[in-house]
Every structure is written in C-alpha cells, then in structure tokens.
Amino acid sequence: MTDASSAPAVPVTIHRGDYRPPEWQIPDIALDFALGIKETRVTAALSAVRAADAPAPLLLRGDGLTPAEVRVDGAVWNDWRMDGSDLVVDLGDRTAATVEVDTLIHPATNTQLMGLYASNGMLCTQCEAEGFRRITFHPDRPDVLSRYRVRLAGDRARFPILLSNGNCIASGEGEDGTHWALWEDPWPKPSYLFALVAGDLVVNRDSFTTMSGRKVDLGIWVRDGDLDRTHHAMAALKHSMKWDEEVYGREYDLDRFNIVAVSDFNMGAMENKGLNIFNTRYILADPDTATDMDYDGVEGVVAHEYFHNWSGNRVTCRDWFQLSLKEGFTVYRDQSFSAAMGSPAVKRIEDVRVLRAAQFPEDAGPLAHPIRPDSYQEISNFYTATVYNKGAEVIRMMATLLGPERFRRGTDLYFDRHDGEAATCEDFIRAMEEGGGIDLTQFRRWYEQAGTPKLHLTLAQEGGEWFLDIVQTVPPTPGQPAKAPMMMPLRLAAFAMDGGGAALPDTLVTLTGAAQRVPLGAFAARPALSVNRGFSAPVIVDYERAPGELAWLAAHDDDPFARYEALQQLMLDTLVAAVSGEAGNRDAVIGAVARTLAGAADDPAFVAEAVLLPSEAFIGDQMVTVDPDAIRSARMALQGAIGDALEGQWRAILGNPAPAATDLSPAAKGRRRLRGVALAYLAATGKEDVAALAFGIFSSADGMTERQAALATLAHGDSDERAHALDIFYQRYRDDPLVLDKWFQVQAWSLRSDTVAAVAALAQHPDFTLANPNRVRSLYGAFAANQAAFHQADGAGYRLLADLVIALDPKNPQTAARMIPPLGRWKRFDVARQALMKTELERILAQPGLSRDTTEQASKSLM
C-alpha cells in the first residue's frame, strides 16, 4: 500500500514567512504499541495544553491514518473531523485536555521507509522530517516538544529486543508468548526524534565515563553475525563523546546511548534521542568488507549523529526552514572531528571535493536555494548539499572570522541560551554576534542568497607596491535575479618566486564590498598569489595564472590545501584547453605531478589526493557547454600521458608491499590510497601487463581497499581478468549486501563505452531490487555520476534513469525524487541533449499519481 495517491493534485507551497507558533503544546505523550509486522496497533495519549489565547481546534497531522476511536479525558469524543488526511479535534473552550487516539498501521507494506516499517524481519522507525504522522496523529512540527513514555509489546520470539528513546524503566511478560518494555525519555523532544526498534538483535556493549564522572552504557545493535563489524563504530562513538566535551564542552545527558543498524534506510543515519538508527553502511566495517573510505564514512557519520545530541536535539529547529541550523552546524562539527582524528589537510581536500561535486552544481541549477530556504512543497527534498555542506561552510566562515576562542564563546552562548528550545538560524547568528563580539549584519546574506559567489582577481602594481583587486559577483538563481555582495573571510599570502625578497605571510582579509583592493606589499616582480587558502570561503576564484606560477605554488606554497589547489588548477587549465582542441601545458602538469610524487613517502595520503585528475564533471563545470565525450577523451589522454611519463614511479609505488589491511593508521591508509591512484595511472597507459597486475592485486589483497581498487580498475577495461574478477567477487560476497553494492557500483562507474547497456542489464539482475535504497544508489546513483555514460548522445542514459524514477516513485518517493537532479542539469548541455533530458522530465511528470516529492523536483527541474 502506498500513499502516493494521497498527495494533492495541485502542490501546496509552504512559505517561511507564514510561520505561526503552535496553538497547542503537548508537554506529555504516552504511546502504547501492540507490535506486529503486518499490523501494529497504536494508542497515543496526548496531554494537550492550549498556547493560543483564544479557543482553537487541535490540529493533528496524519498521513495514511484512520482514527479508530478518539477519546478526550477518558470519554469517547465525537467532536472531530478529518481535514484531508489530518484530524481536527474540537475541544471547545478548553485550555487543557488529554486526547487519546487509536490507530492501526501496517509496517510490512510501508515501502516508503517513513514512519514504522519492517526491515529484514525487524521493526524500526524513521520520523524526520514528517514521518511521525504516519504512526499516529500529532501536530508533528518541531516546535512542539514533549516528554515521551512508550510501552512496546509484542511476540517475544519475533521481537526479543524492544528499544525506544531514553531509559527502560520496566519490562515484563505478557500473554501468549508476548513481552513488553516501558521506556521513558526525560528530555522533552520534537516528534521527529521519536524512535522504536523491535527485533532479534545482538549488541556490542561498552561504556563511556563523561567529564562529570557519569557512566554511560553504550550499545550498538545489529543482526546476528555482524557483531565483529561494530568495533570501529564503537571506537568512533567514544572518540566523539570525548571530543565534544573537549572542544565544545558538551556532555552526554542520558544513562544510555543506543545505535541500531538497519539495512533498508533512505539516508545515512538518524539522530533519534538516545536511539540513533543507522544505515548498516555507516556502522558495519571490517578490513575484509570495508574500504578505508568506508571506515572514514563510519567514523564521520557516527560522530555526526552523536553531535546532533546537542546541535539538533537539546537545541532543535523551530521549523523545517531552519534545517541548516542543525545540519550545517553538525556537518561542520563532524568535519572538524574527522580532521582531528586524521589529516586536517586531506580532510579539507575531501570536503571541498564533495562541495564542488554536489553543492556547486546544485547552486548553479534550477533547484538552487539558500541554506535557509524560503519555500518548499516537500521538505524531504531539502536535505541537500546546500543545506548540509554549504551550511557547514557558512558556519566555518563564522568560526574563521571569530577565531577559535570567540567562536567557542558564541557556541557556549547559543547552547546555554537555547537549551531545551526550538531555535532559528537567526538565534545562532545572534549568539555568534554577542558571544564573539562581531557585527554579522551583512553576513546574514549567506542565509538569504543562493548561488556560488565568484571572485574575479587581478594584480595591480604602483611603484613597486603590489595590490590585489577583487570584484565579487553572485549569480542570479531562481527567484533571485539580483544579488548583493557577501561578507566573507579570504585567507591569502603572496610569495616571491625567485626565493629571495618579500613575502606576504598568511593574512585574513574580510571581504564586504563588490570591489575591494588588498595591498600585498613590495615585490621586485609579480608575486605568486596564494588565495582562498584552506578554502576559507565557498566561492569560485577566477584568476588567470601562468603554468609556471601554478607549478611553483604546487611545489612551494606553505598551505597544503593551496598546494593541492594549484596543481588541480594546472591540470584543469590543461584539460579545458584539450577539450577545445588546444595543446594546453602537458609538460608542466607532468613535471608538477613528478615533483609532488617525490614527497610520497612523507605524506602519501596528501600526495594521492593532489595527483588525482579533476573529475569529468568538474571539468564540465568550467565550460560554457559541457561536452561529455570530449571531456572523457581529454581526461583519459592526460591520464595516459602522465601514466607513461611517470611509469617508473607508478610501478615503484606498486612494487612495495601493501600495508596490512588491519593497519588503519593514517599512514597505511595513505599508502593504500596512493597505490590505487598509481594503478589507475598505469591502467591508463594501456600497457599489456596491467590487467594481470591488477588481477594479481585483486587476488592477493588481504582487504577491501586494495581489492576494490583493483576491481574498479579492471572494470574499466576489456580483459579476461575483468570478467574473472567480477565473477570471483560476486561468488564470494553475494550474501553480503553492502559488499554486493560495490559489485554493482564498480560496473556502473565503468569508463567502458557499453556502460549504459550494462547498467540496464544489471537492473534485471536477480540481486537488484528497488526495495533497498542502498542497492538503488549503488547502481543508479553511481551511473548518474558517470558523466559520459549518463549523457550518452542517444539519450539512453536519461531514459534509464527516468524509467527508474517512474518505477520507484510509487514505492519510495523520497529516494526516487533524489535521482532527479542529474536530469535537471540540462541547461549545461547542447541542444540535442537538452531536448532529450527535458523529454524524460516531462515523461516523469506525466505519470498519474506522482508523489509530491517527485513532482516538485521534476517540475522545478524543467524551469
């Protein structure tokens, strides 16, 4: 059963400016669940207290629910009506009442994975943003906070473990093999943080002693057989708890903290109070099945959800327009944590790569929105790279402008002032202003204006003194034709390339104007400019530099991020030139890569990042009209040239033994990463022995990082070893869903020219299923990121993705809608591709009963 048909035919747009405080508060809630996979009976008792001065009916949101009975203060009540799918209870002029509603829900047929659903025989919930209304009638808005008491009852054999938020205060046996548990969460919370889990689970138990000496019981719950794969997550949890105490002074506030891993999940994980629910992908890791990148993902997401306990739960959001208040801040916190656990420079490079790959295109396309949107039709569509990752950049800029001590004063003030409240982005900014002693009036534009600002830079010279002239523009975005200049921190330095003479050391400039001049000092010759160091502002820098200057910076800049940027820019300039048939400067690139490689022994992780060629998509972002085929050939040609020229170095890197897979030190991870990069460069040479070399690595690898890197390299080619390795991998891991996802993914990423057909065939594979979002993403998400395949000139790639959206939407509209943005980038392509892409968007929109999620994304994508 799906509720797509209950979506309104004419989408309703919700506006930020229409916010009104709730007319009723619900200080206490008692929920009673009679659990069953097919059918679960829910009794909700809401203690409602009128907040409005005048009488007002109690509006309880519902989605796919029918009230079996309504009672008020214990007596059957008939003064209610349905308004669409919502329940409106008329309480006359009462100022308080206990409203009880009985409902019946059906977890097994809940394919949306919102509300209460079944996954692998267990029951679990997902309520953010508006899923609680699929469990019971409720105001279901984040500014209504309640204390919850939850009674769970069900068959003991089927559901030996019964979990909810907070503490278990009682449990016992029922009739007919049932048992029950009573959970109480002492902290008032919004309904989106409610959770329950019932199933046959095993636990990895540990404990953490907080800074005030309280012992917290930690539990990570998984299916039998997965326990050995939970240790990394547990270590990450304990590190996160410590880090939040040390860096933000935030202590955990309950006696237990539980995490449950489920295999069917729409997102990465969810921060439900005291009971986080995770996609298995971000909990389970062991060297045989998880890559180093997977390990880092586990660490980062465990930290992210834990940090939400303060930035999200203790201080929550007033309304969903404020989503970046918790998400931007929490991403910033998890990024800082991961930087502290590993290499800050490499982490910054990775985060900027994600921003450029996912957020910049969003900001430049039809779905562009400010980090605090002004309107939406379906809030699920706003869990975006803009709200999350650009939101994190905005917090980072405030931290940079204030410096660590004043930033900490600001966050202390924010947490103290708003603890227990539903707050706004404006509240956060005000705490930064007061705690940090800064005027952020102009800075607020980051919350209002969409679009990636561009800085156009030129150097000027006046009598031996050099100046940097900066002109800032912010491009028009849907609904925002004209923009005002943003306030931002710009870190820069200048060097004399001949070694002697002056240098401008690392300097923080606060940009405010549309045009601004920065004095650099006296230089005998044009200095090498190191600008936007550490990526201090999330902007595009437009500054023409000679290959020699970029190569010099790639070798000598004292900011590692800037060294990376200089080499990337050098590569990018050459690739963009090659795409338009010009020579570019291959030799400069090869020379710079060679020099960077010389530092591989000292910092292999950094070197591996630095020598990677820019992605095909990022090359496309530099062009007026993206030419996917020309980009692919130019990139492959440059990769082959670098592979040939430095063949000895690549072979030497691979000639050294790989570190043991169980060695997860940053140095070992860095060496493995560099080996993967070396193998890709060697493969690009087309040398005959490379398939055998890759197959050797694949076969002898003692862990997934090396195994997957070798498999991915083979998957691009046409060797016998390719088919053989794919088969071995499949046979070995066919019963491990997370690893089988990788098998689908490497084939969808393939640079082969028959990838569209291969993906279409894989969609018919017996192990492919629309019921599991990870599987859908591993095939179609990877495919849509494969630029030349997805944009195959005949439009077959577009058709494939649209077919998926159409098939998936009735089952899981959230995941279906998230597949649409690649089709919405049509303006960036030639007219033939534009027409083909728009045809598919129109075909999607023509489907009867299309969900609100997909309708919003597809219709906005056509504008």
Is 128 a binder of ligand PHE (CB under 6 A)? yes
CA dist., res. 119 & res. 588, Å (int): 54
Is 270 a binder of ligand PHE (CB under 6 A)? yes
Residue 269 CB, nearest approach to ligand PHE (Å): 6
Residue 218 CB, nearest approach to Zn ion (Å): 20
Closest alpha carbon to 102 in 140, 148, 46: 46
- Could you say which of Zn ion, ligand PHE, none residue 418 binds, taking C-beta under 5 to 8 angstroms by partner kind? none
Is 299 a binder of ligand PHE (CB under 6 A)? no
Residue 273 CB, nearest approach to ligand PHE (Å): 12
Is 189 a binder of ligand PHE (CB under 6 A)? no
- Name the strand (E) or helix (H) holding 435: helix 425-436
Closest alpha carbon to 445 in 411, 491, 418, 482: 482
Is 278 a binder of ligand PHE (CB under 6 A)? no
Residue 304 CB, nearest approach to Zn ion (Å): 6
Beta bridge partners of 515: 471
Compute how many residues bind ligand PHE; rule: CB under 6 A: 12
- Could you say which of ligand PHE, Zn ion, none residue 635 binds, taking C-beta under 5 to 8 angstroms by partner kind? none
Residue 851 CB, nearest approach to ligand PHE (Å): 16
Nearer residue to ligand PHE within complex by CB, 126 or 280 = 126
- Could you say which of Zn ion, ligand PHE, none residue 750 binds, taking C-beta under 5 to 8 angstroms by partner kind? none
CA dist., res. 138 & res. 26, Å (int): 9
- The answer to whether 426 is a known catalytic residue is no
Name residues whose C-beta falls within 8 Å of residue 780's C-beta, 6 or more positions apart in sequence: 748, 759, 800, 801, 804, 819
Is 236 a binder of ligand PHE (CB under 6 A)? no
Residues 349-388, one symbol each (x = binds ligand PHE by CB under 6 A, - = not), give ----------------------------------x-----
Stretches 265-273, 313-321, 404-412, 848-856: which one binds ligand PHE (CB under 6 A)?
265-273
Is 126 a binder of ligand PHE (CB under 6 A)? yes
Token pair 């923009």 is found at 483
Token pair 């597949």 is found at 819
Site for Zn ion in 7-36 (CB under 5 A): none
| Per-position b or e across 636-669, b if 16+ CB within 10 A of its CB | bebbbbbbbbbeebbeebbeeebbebeebeeebb
Q: Which of 304, 369, 671, 777 binds ligand PHE (CB under 6 A)?
A: 304
Nearer residue to Zn ion within complex by CB, 325 or 714 = 325
CA dist., res. 311 & res. 292, Å (int): 28
For residue 455, report the phi and psi dihedrals to the nearest 5 degrees: -110, 120
Is 774 a binder of ligand PHE (CB under 6 A)? no
| Per-position b or e across 304-326, b if 16+ CB within 10 A of its CB | bbbbbbbbbbbbbbbbbbbbbbb
Q: Which of 3, 271, 296, 299 binds ligand PHE (CB under 6 A)?
A: 271
Is 334 a binder of ligand PHE (CB under 6 A)? no
Residue 388 CB, nearest approach to ligand PHE (Å): 7
Is 305 a binder of ligand PHE (CB under 6 A)? yes
Long-range contacts of residues 292-300, Cβ cutoff 8 Å, at least 24 apart: 292/664, 292/669, 292/672, 292/673, 292/705, 293/705, 294/704, 295/232, 295/664, 295/669, 296/338, 296/342, 298/232, 298/233, 298/236, 299/232, 299/236, 299/239, 299/338, 299/341, 300/334, 300/335, 300/337, 300/338
Torsion angle of C-alpha atoms 792, 359, 313, 97, degrees rounded to 10: -70
- Could you say which of Zn ion, ligand PHE, none residue 128 binds, taking C-beta under 5 to 8 angstroms by partner kind? ligand PHE
Tell me whether residue 856 is exposed, middle or buried, using C-beta atoms within 10 angstroms of its C-beta: 0 to 12, 13 to 18, 19 or more: buried
| Per-position b or e across 115-127, b if 16+ CB within 10 A of its CB | bbbbbeebbbbbb
CA dist., res. 250 & res. 310, Å (int): 7
Stretches 32-40, 302-310, 469-477, 656-664: which one binds ligand PHE (CB under 6 A)?
302-310
| Per-position b or e across 265-302, b if 16+ CB within 10 A of its CB | bbbebbbbbbbbbbbbbbbbbbbbbbbbebbbbbbbbb
Is 853 a binder of ligand PHE (CB under 6 A)? no
Count Cα atoms within 13 angstroms, Cβ side, for 812.
22
| Structural contact between residues 761 and 782, judged by C-beta atoms closer than 8 angstroms | no
Nearer residue to ligand PHE within complex by CB, 126 or 861 = 126
Residues 295-334, one symbol each (x = binds Zn ion by CB under 5 A, - = not), give --------------------------------x--x----
Is 257 a binder of ligand PHE (CB under 6 A)? no
CA dist., res. 461 & res. 369, Å (int): 39
Q: Can you read off the two tokens belonging to residue 651?
A: 């072979």
Stretches 264-272, 313-321, 789-797, 815-823: which one binds ligand PHE (CB under 6 A)?
264-272
- SS3 letters across 639-665: HHHHHHHCHHHHHHHHHCCCCCCCCCC
Residue 308 CB, nearest approach to ligand PHE (Å): 6
Q: Can you read off the two tokens belonging to residue 817?
A: 């809608």
Site for ligand PHE in 590-629 (CB under 6 A): none
- Could you say which of ligand PHE, Zn ion, none residue 852 binds, taking C-beta under 5 to 8 angstroms by partner kind? none
Residue 329 CB, nearest approach to ligand PHE (Å): 11
Count Cα atoms within 13 angstroms, Cβ side, for 843.
18
Is 317 a binder of ligand PHE (CB under 6 A)? no
Nearer residue to ligand PHE within complex by CB, 100 or 271 = 271
Task: Identify the three-state secondary structure at position 424.
Answer: coil
- Could you say which of Zn ion, ligand PHE, none residue 263 binds, taking C-beta under 5 to 8 angstroms by partner kind? none
Nearer residue to Zn ion within complex by CB, 61 or 304 = 304
Is 327 a binder of ligand PHE (CB under 6 A)? yes
> What is the 8-class DSSP label of residue 538?
S
Nearer residue to ligand PHE within complex by CB, 775 or 825 = 775
Nearer residue to ligand PHE within complex by CB, 317 or 658 = 317
Mutual angle of helices 831-845 and 852-861, in 10-degree steps: 160
Residues in the chain, total: 863
- Could you say which of Zn ion, ligand PHE, none residue 270 binds, taking C-beta under 5 to 8 angstroms by partner kind? ligand PHE
Which one from 128, 271, 299, 305 is the annotated catalytic residue? 305
Is 576 a binder of ligand PHE (CB under 6 A)? no
Nearer residue to Zn ion within complex by CB, 89 or 323 = 323
Stretches 15-23, 140-148, 266-274, 459-467: which one binds ligand PHE (CB under 6 A)?
266-274
Nearer residue to ligand PHE within complex by CB, 195 or 600 = 195
Residue 718 CB, nearest approach to ligand PHE (Å): 40
Nearer residue to Zn ion within complex by CB, 112 or 276 = 276
Torsion angle of C-alpha atoms 42, 48, 51, 52, degrees rounded to 10: 90
> What is the 8-class DSSP label of residue 359?
I
Q: Which of 87, 101, 163, 267 binds ligand PHE (CB under 6 A)?
A: 267
Catalytic residue IDs: 305
Residues near ligand PHE (CB under 6 A): 126, 128, 266-267, 269-271, 304-305, 308, 327, 383
Residues near Zn ion (CB under 5 A): 327, 330
